[in-house]
Amino acid sequence: FFFLMIRRPPRSTQSRSSAASDVYKRQIQNIATFSKELITITRNVLEEHMDSSAWRTSTEKMVPFRVDEDANIEDVPEHVITDFANRYLGGGVLRTGGVQEEILFCCAPELLATMCLAEMMLLNEAIVIRGASLLYSAKGYATSLHFDGARTTRAPLDPTDHRNTTILAIDATNFKGRDTEDQFTEANTLRELNKAYVGFRSVALSKVSTGRWGCGVYYGDSELKFLLQWLAASKASTSLTFCTKKDARLSKVDTLLSRFGAATVGEVYQRIEAHRLAIEKEGLVPPIDFLLRN
């Protein structure tokens, strides 16, 4: 894999080559330790499609969440790491890709093996990867991405010989080139909601770090994606930390918690449905402002 990365590098050639050469050194120096460690890849399936009626009548309470404006998703301690995945794991990491998933795969290069072993994710599937070590740090994004050195510590081994790191891969819909309002339709809302739900259900009762899922090169609406992830996590009884990267549109999310913290999943979903109807009548309305007003 790293031979390919060096042969077909992105613009930040020297940075990725630095990471690649360091992996070889680590393997030679720690061959006994590396050879005993395990990585497990699990494909999780939502057997029954949840339609609007199922979400509308959900009685689970909304779960609390935490907001971190500065942290990277992979740096929140003791949390499952959300991979904003391509339906083909790894996306463009072996070509010129340099966004969230590709960065994660470079920082935890053992993840590259999953590209050979995991088939394309279907609409009702998520993939969980246990045991891949975060070996490196990176700075920047896309064309500004660069290697920021090796991490000095690794997650501890658990009793099953896995590193205590779990990565949850869920793929968002690509809305590039489509009308902004398209992602607010019932079909697209349900697609994202069920995808997030099968993912968070796969790591139920865990703490998960996530953020602006599908809001970069896929042009997702960050407010809608926040709401859908919160709904899905609440139904799955999963605690979330949202890494917002100071997205101004997410500056009011704490107010949502005080307003809807005691509500059910069904009640909040009905507000999202009302927002969809408002778009049809009034045009695009920011969803968080709408929920706080109504």
Active-site annotation, residues: 83, 101-102
Distance CA 131, CA 167 (A): 9
What 3-state class would DSSP assign to 5? Answer: helix
**Tokens (6 digits) for 124:** 């009702």
What 3-state class would DSSP assign to 286? Answer: coil
**How far out from the chain centre does Cα 269 lie?**
21
Distance CA 137, CA 146 (A): 9
> Which residues, including other chains, have CB under 8 Å from residue 209's CB and lie 6 or more apart?
71, 73, 74, 76, 79, 80, 81, 82, 240, 241, 243
Phi, psi at 63, each rounded to 5°: -90, 150
Q: How many CA atoms lie within 13 A of 71 on its CB side?
A: 16
Distance CA 160, CA 155 (A): 14
Q: What's 57's DSSP letter?
A: T
Q: How many CA atoms lie within 13 A of 34 on its CB side?
A: 13
**If you write DSSP's letter for every residue of 146-186 in order, what string do you get?**
EEEEE-S--PPB-TTSBBS-EEEEEEPP--TTS-GGGGGSH
Distance CA 102, CA 39 (A): 19
**Tokens (6 digits) for 259:** 């307003």
